[in-house]
């Protein structure tokens, strides 16, 4: 049964929430009085459709229905999750929560995107205080996985399960505190940056360069403490603190001393920022940001580290739901073409076709029982020969499937035929792949285990009535 999310406030954050839920298979109802809400939401959705599927090696669930409704009551009536993303004005949020709780189910989860307010402040005067909690995301919500959860333990535990199911990384904050955890770091960096500009030490571009070419790269994959643990060398974190701890007593920062945001300082920052990034529209910058984030996180997937490990686990959950019906064509790959798979001609690089054939064969191996456990027992299949034919182009963002037919599956020989198809059902490329079953100990061909042979025989029998592919 499809779940429903209600988004109250359809700005940058609310639109990101809508995209994350919708592309995770949830229906989404959005309330926002802004007459431009529909246009803005559609633009955020377009960016999300372009980028989020590129993080996965498997198909995302069918996209949920997204609709904009005229009232909060209509938005929340059937909602399982309600996300408030209104401006940071407490009295406004109180009015919204009262309206939400008047019309929503008593067991609905009500999260707030607030970056600063504590749950106890949000819950003041609420009909059911424990129903309301902080679910603070990071922009873009449809790509960045971290969500800070603050509130009633039982409620945030339920919220944790929902967020994990849609591929996010919930962080339950142990005690409520102004600005939660992450924004307190950001505020400290922001204060220092303002002083560096005010005192004429660095421009906006130079400060950004210091982050993106230096410690930002380390933080992106190891965080703060793990980075400094490595910096301590073989002696570890204790040595690092011993060596650099005294620096904390030196007048290196103006952490609590904030420059007055005069018109002159504001104009200085704005003009420097215009010089730095004014050649791009906001939507262009969003797409550049999304492409960079996708590339970084996909790289981390290859290392199974940090956000990449989270994405791999989410792919495994999605793939684990598949239950193939062998009386139908075998879909071994279903995915979007990632941004980083394209070449200087603007279409998918030919090496990536080979990856798709390899992924398709691996998927079939798991279906017949030649999985990781079987390989660990000392046996596997090796590819001996492949022939690829290209019929059409593939581009970043294209949703494709690979349909695999078993042409031969007797004894140690296995011959597969893969067809790469686009959403229109057109064949983009084909591959004739010949594999041999081998002993990993002797590195020589041999017959597979009986359960592998039996599974292959049963699949071939189940496929017998299907039209045969054109072996061109």
Tell me what the mean pLDDT of segment 137-157 comes to: 97
pLDDT at 133: 98
Give the count of domains, the chain.
Answer: 3
Q: What is the pLDDT of residue 276?
A: 85
Average pLDDT, the chain: 92
The CATH number of the domain holding residue 252 is: 1.10.1040.10
Counting Cα atoms < 13 Å in the Cβ hemisphere of 345 gives: 6
Domain match, 111 and 193 both = no
What is the band of 321 on the pLDDT scale with cuts at 50, 70, 90? low
Q: Residue 208 domain-assigned? A: yes
Residue 53 shares a structural domain with residue 173: yes
Supply the pLDDT for residue 330. Answer: 94
- Whether 138 is covered by a domain: the verdict is yes
Give percent of the chain above pLDDT 70.
Answer: 97
Do 274 and 390 fall within a single domain? no
Contact criterion met (CB below 8 Å) for 60 and 317: no
d(CA 143, CA 153): 26
Residue 402 lies in a domain: yes
CATH of the domain at 175: 3.40.50.720
Assess whether pLDDT exceeds 90 at residue 468: no
Instruction: Select from 147, 61, 162 the least CA-distant residue to 107.
Output: 162
Mean pLDDT within 47-76: 95
Give me the pLDDT at residue 341, please: 92
Same domain, 268 and 371: no
Query: Is 294 part of a structural domain of the chain?
Result: no
pLDDT at 239: 67
Q: Given the DSSP bridges, would you call strands 109-112 and 81-84 parallel, antiparallel or unpaired?
A: parallel
The answer as to whether 150 is a domain residue is yes
Q: What angle, 0 to 180 degrees and rounded to 10, lies between the N-to-C axes of helices 282-303 and 37-51?
A: 30
Asked if pLDDT for residue 1 goes beyond 90, the answer is no
Asked whether residue 291 is domain-assigned, the answer is: no
For residue range 91-117, what is the model confidence (pLDDT) as tens digits?
999 999 999 999 999 999 999 999 999
Claim to verify: residue 239 and residue 172 sit in the same structural domain: no
Q: How far apart are CA 93 and CA 115, in angstroms?
A: 13
Per-residue confidence (pLDDT) for residue 441, from 0 to 100: 96
Are residues 244 and 331 part of one domain?
Answer: no
Residue 258: per-residue pLDDT: 76
In a domain, 429, yes or no: yes
Same structural domain, 78 and 98: yes
Q: Do 121 and 264 share a domain, yes or no?
A: no
In the predicted model, is pLDDT for residue 254 greater than 80?
A: no
pLDDT band of residue 231 (cuts 50, 70, 90) is: confident
Domain C-terminal end among 257, 279, 301: 279
Question: Which position has the higher pLDDT, 249 or 69?
Answer: 69
* Domain stops at, among 279, 308, 335: 279
pLDDT digits (tens, 9 = 90+) for 71-97: 999 999 999 999 999 999 999 999 999
Question: Which of the four pLDDT bands, split at 50, 70 and 90, describes residue 348?
Answer: very high
389 shares a domain with 251: no
Residues composing the chain: 472
User: Is beta strand 66-68 parallel, antiparallel or unpaired with respect to 27-31?
Assistant: parallel
In this prediction, residue 472 carries a pLDDT of: 64
SS (H, E, C) the chain: CCCEEEEECCCHHHHHHHHHHHCCCCEEEEECCCCCHHHHHHHHHHHHHHHHHHHCCCCCCCCCCEEECCCHHHHHCCCCEEEECCCCCHHHHHHHHHHHHHHCCCCCEEEECCCCCCHHHHCCCCCCHHHEEEEECCCCCCCCCEEEEECCHHHHHHHHHHHHHCCCEEEECCCCCCCCCHHHHHHHHHHHHHHHHHCCCCCHHHHHHHHHHHHHHHHHHHCCHHHHHHHCHHHHHHHHHHHHHHHHHCCCCCCCCCCCCCHHHHHHHHHHHHHHHCCCCHHHHHHHHHHHHHHHHHHHHHHCCCHHHHHHHHHHHHHHCCCCCCCCCEEEEEEECCHHHECCCCCECHHHHHHHHHHHHHHHHHHHCCCHHHHHCCEEEEEEEEEEEECCCCCCCCEEEEEEEEEECCCCEEEEEEEEECCCCCEEEEEEEEEEEEECCCCCECCCCHHHHHHHHHHHHHCCCCCCCCCC
413 has a pLDDT exceeding 70: yes
CATH (domain of 380): 3.10.129.10
- Quickly state the pLDDT bin for 322 (edges 50, 70, 90): low
Range of the domain at 267: 183-279
- pLDDT surpasses 80 at 144: yes
169 in the same domain as 33: yes
Q: Note whether 22 and 76 are same-domain residues.
A: yes
Could you say which of 180, 198, 233 is where a domain stops?
180
The answer to whether position 285 is within a domain reads no
Please report the pLDDT score of residue 244 as a whole number.
65
174-230 tens-digit pLDDT: 999 999 999 999 999 999 999 999 999 999 999 999 998 888 888 888 888 888 777
Same domain, 262 and 366: no
């Amino acid at each position: 049964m499809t779940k429903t999310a209600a988004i109250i406030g359809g700005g940058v954050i609310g639109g990101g929430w809508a995209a994350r839920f919708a592309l995770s298979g949830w229906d989404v109802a959005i309330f926002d009085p802004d007459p431009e809400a529909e246009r803005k939401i559609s633009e955020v959705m377009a960016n999300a459709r372009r980028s989020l599927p590129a993080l996965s090696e498997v198909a995302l669930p069918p996209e949920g229905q997204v609709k904009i409704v005229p009232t909060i009551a209509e938005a929340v009536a059937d909602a399982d999750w309600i996300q408030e993303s209104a401006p940071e004005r407490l009295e406004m949020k109180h009015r919204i929560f009262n309206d939400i709780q008047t019309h929503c189910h008593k067991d609905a989860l009500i999260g707030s995107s607030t970056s600063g307010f504590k749950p106890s402040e949000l819950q003041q005067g609420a009909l059911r205080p424990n129903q309301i909690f902080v679910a603070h995301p990071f922009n873009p919500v449809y790509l960045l996985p971290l969500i800070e959860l603050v509130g009633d333990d039982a409620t945030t535990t339920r919220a944790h399960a929902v967020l994990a199911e849609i591929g996010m990384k919930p962080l339950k904050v142990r005690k409520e505190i102004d600005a939660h955890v992450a924004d307190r770091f950001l505020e400290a960096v922001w204060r220092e940056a303002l002083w560096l500009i005010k005192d004429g030490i660095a421009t906006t571009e130079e400060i950004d360069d210091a982050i993106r070419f230096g410690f930002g790269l380390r933080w992106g994959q190891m965080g703060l403490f793990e980075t400094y643990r490595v910096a301590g060398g073989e002696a570890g974190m204790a040595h690092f603190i011993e060596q650099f701890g005294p620096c904390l007593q030196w007048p290196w920062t103006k952490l609590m001393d904030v420059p007055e945001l005069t018109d002159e300082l504001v104009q200085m920052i704005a003009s420097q920022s215009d010089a730095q990034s004014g050649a791009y529209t906001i939507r262009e910058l969003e797409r550049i940001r999304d492409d960079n984030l996708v590339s970084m996180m996909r790289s981390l997937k290859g290392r199974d580290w940090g956000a990449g490990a989270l994405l791999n686990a989410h792919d495994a959950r999605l793939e684990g739901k598949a239950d193939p019906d062998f009386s139908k064509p075998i879909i071994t790959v279903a995915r979007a073409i990632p941004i980083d798979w394209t070449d200087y001609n603007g279409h998918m690089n030919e090496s990536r076709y080979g990856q798709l054939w390899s992924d398709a064969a691996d998927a079939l191996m798991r279906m017949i029982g030649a999985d990781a456990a079987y390989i660990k027992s000392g046996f596997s299949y090796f590819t001996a020969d492949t022939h690829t034919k290209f019929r059409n182009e593939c581009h970043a963002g294209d949703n494709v499937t690979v349909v695999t037919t078993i042409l031969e599956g007797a004894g140690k020989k296995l011959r597969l035929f893969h067809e790469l198809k686009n959403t229109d059902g057109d064949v983009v490329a084909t591959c004739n792949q010949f594999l041999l079953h081998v002993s990993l100990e002797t590195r020589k061909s041999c017959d597979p285990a009986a359960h592998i042979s039996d599974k292959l025989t049963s699949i071939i029998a189940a496929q017998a009535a299907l039209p045969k592919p054109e072996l061109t």
